[in-house]
Structure 1
């Protein structure tokens, strides 16, 4: 029976180091014609069944793909110096063997997230040690990406490996050590995904936007749209312009702020909409503080609310993707801003600044109907 000692695996932030048993009992010599045969990588029995992912692809990004292992051959005769380490690949080639290892070790469930593994390093390096033994070190560097329909999303990286000592004439400990090191990388991936799935935005599966409106006055120079509190002439604090085409001018606009958080794998997007008038940029000419003029300016404000309501209805769960919800919102906002400016110009042109009373009444009715349609009034 072999005599060995075992050290418990040590967990580091970036992976696992596995210290395998140190075999001190020499086994029978391997025949010379078999020493350089490829390593046959066996599948591993993993301690989990994935619930968050399946491996869709394994890519080889190793700088040196000559072989996976550099092993010290057995000496030509007992007591002779150990030869230099020689390249020994996995049976079928390094990439193909590791792809088969992953495929045979992990169940493949396409209903889960597809994960790509990038093989950045997988190397077994041996050197001669004391008392005719061989020391081996396994180095792994794997990157894991989420394969979305549109792009690859980098997730996490695993760096780890193992060390072992074996008799010079027996390389049988090499494959189990490599197999366990690769298995540990899959255990790490499973643990990381289980922890990150509920809260990492890169793993979110949907976007659910909700909207709130700013109505409470928090700044002296800003008035927010509130059907219960229409504009008054006191909100026009800007310096009056010389009397020209218009008796008054209002300066409305709208903006949004998005506050995302991930809960149970869904981006909950809290969008705060503000439809406002800047008081210091709004003015009324002397003697023009009439109800008709104030109504005309209020309707400018109402048009901005209507455009903001349309913007809100474009931001639906179906229209927003996890990867690009922010840029989609920005594009819709720019389109809505252009629409707002067009409507304001059309409104002033058709009503002649509010002096064409029949046209003004038609716009009053149109605006009231839209505000009612959107539930504002």
Structure 2
């Protein structure tokens, strides 16, 4: 009996296929895919351009789940794809809606969610929910890919079961809203968001204030005097006097229109309470020797400043690069101070002292520090 039924079913299928090929019967109706039309933005995207779009949805399911025209209360929504596939259709939509042009930020878009879900409504209507989630990525000049922001949005609609026109238009507007949001976000974030910075511009200033009683900041117009040596003299030693200069910096970054403006305050200083002079040694020769120690620090600080150029600092690591350059300059300063004392024998070798005087003066003039 089972064999007879299977034989009849086989012959019936063969007969139906022959009729279908002859055009005498038709198969089940197939739903046409959604055709996503380009949209018109309410702004001109001058800050960014979209270089690519990728469908990053898990599993890449169908975009739309729509009710058929004959749906009843218990009918389930059926999957419907965008014409040409989701990724290709969205890429074409972006290319036609956002013309490619030169801009400061070339971004890539990841589609994290794009779905139209319908459920039965009243009076033979379909209630639709559109959900869109986009991620906007940017590869900065240093080669680092940064997710700048994400857009989450959507819309609702009601439509008669016999017309699907509103489905495409609602999805189109939801996608356009994502790019409108990104344009607004970028415009607002550009003045202050360090992630959007494309360069570092250091601005150096030398501290010369005289508000701290124990600290003297370097000022070419105000050389050392013996009154600045307030420390207790060393009871024994080969030096008639000693001064203890140093330098430091403070950096305060501020993002201004996509550039990290780094306000760097250089402090070249002498601590008065650590500087001393032995009794009877307060003469011009000894004071000149100590002043040159101070001048050497000023020269090293100037070299440090000139090494910290916009080309040497990256947005990602400008703090660490500046710190490393400072440590190298600090080492250079200590080396020069030791060399200076050894060659001049603490100022006792007058010929060597004269050579250092002329060398230091020439460098100060070369940097425009002294006339």
Q: Residue in 2 aligned with 1:20? A: none
After superposition, the Cα gap between the structure-2 partners of 1:274 and 1:102, relative to the gap in structure 1 and judged at 3 Å, is same
Q: Residue in 2 aligned with 1:290? A: 283
Shift of 1:244: 2.4
TM-score between both structures, scaled by the size of structure 1 = 0.82
The worse-fitting range, judged by mean Cα deviation, of 197-206 and 162-171 is: 197-206
Q: Which has the higher helix share?
A: 2
Q: Residue in 1 aligned with 2:4? A: none
Q: Secondary structure of the equivalent of 1:84?
A: coil
Q: How does 1:128-277 map to 2 (within 5 A)?
A: 128-149=120-141, 150-277=143-270
Q: Which of these residues, 69, 82, 101, is aligned with residue 90 of structure 1?
A: 82
How far does the alpha carbon of each residue in 1:222-259 deviate from its partner, in whole angstroms, 9 at most, with x for none? 11011121112222233333422433322211122233
Q: Residue in 2 aligned with 1:327? A: 320
Q: Residue in 1 aligned with 2:9? A: none
CA contact (8 A) 2:46 2:103 kept: no
User: CA–CA distance in 2 between the matches of 1:239 and 1:96?
Assistant: 81
Q: Secondary structure of the equivalent of 2:37?
A: coil
After superposition, the Cα gap between the structure-2 partners of 1:357 and 1:135, relative to the gap in structure 1 and judged at 3 Å, is same
Point out where structure 1 has 5 or more consecutive residues left out of the alignment.
1-30
Q: Which has the higher contact order (CA 8 A, sep 6+)?
A: 1
User: CA–CA distance in 2 between the matches of 1:221 and 1:63?
Assistant: 66
Shift of 1:338: 1.9
Shift of 1:111: 4.4
Shift of 1:262: 3.9
User: CA–CA distance in 2 between the matches of 1:125 and 1:281?
Assistant: 78
User: CA–CA distance in 1 between the matches of 2:54 and 2:334?
Assistant: 51
Q: Secondary structure of the equivalent of 1:293?
A: helix
Shift of 1:199: 4.8
Shift of 1:169: 4.0
Moved beyond 6 Å, runs of 4+: none
User: CA–CA distance in 1 between the matches of 2:192 and 2:64?
Assistant: 39
How far does the alpha carbon of each residue in 1:108-156 deviate from its partner, in whole angstroms, 9 at most, with x for none? 1134421122322222222222333221111222222332232223333
**Over aligned residues, Cα RMSD in angstroms?**
2.5
User: CA–CA distance in 2 between the matches of 1:40 and 1:340?
Assistant: 71
Shift of 1:292: 2.6
Shift of 1:55: 0.6
CA contact (8 A) 1:254 1:308 kept: yes
After superposition, the Cα gap between the structure-2 partners of 1:184 and 1:363, relative to the gap in structure 1 and judged at 3 Å, is same
Q: Residue in 2 aligned with 1:50? A: 45
Larger radius of gyration: 2
Matched, 1:40 2:35: yes
How far does the alpha carbon of each residue in 1:262-296 deviate from its partner, in whole angstroms, 9 at most, with x for none? 44544443322211112222233444433332222
Q: Secondary structure of the equivalent of 2:309?
A: coil
After superposition, the Cα gap between the structure-2 partners of 1:251 and 1:68, relative to the gap in structure 1 and judged at 3 Å, is farther
CA contact (8 A) 1:90 1:97 kept: yes
User: CA–CA distance in 1 between the matches of 2:57 and 2:235?
Assistant: 74
CA contact (8 A) 2:49 2:101 kept: yes
TM-score between both structures, scaled by the size of structure 2 = 0.83
How many residues in Structure 1 have an aligned counterpart in Structure 2?
Answer: 343
After superposition, the Cα gap between the structure-2 partners of 1:345 and 1:32, relative to the gap in structure 1 and judged at 3 Å, is farther
User: CA–CA distance in 1 between the matches of 2:110 and 2:294?
Assistant: 55
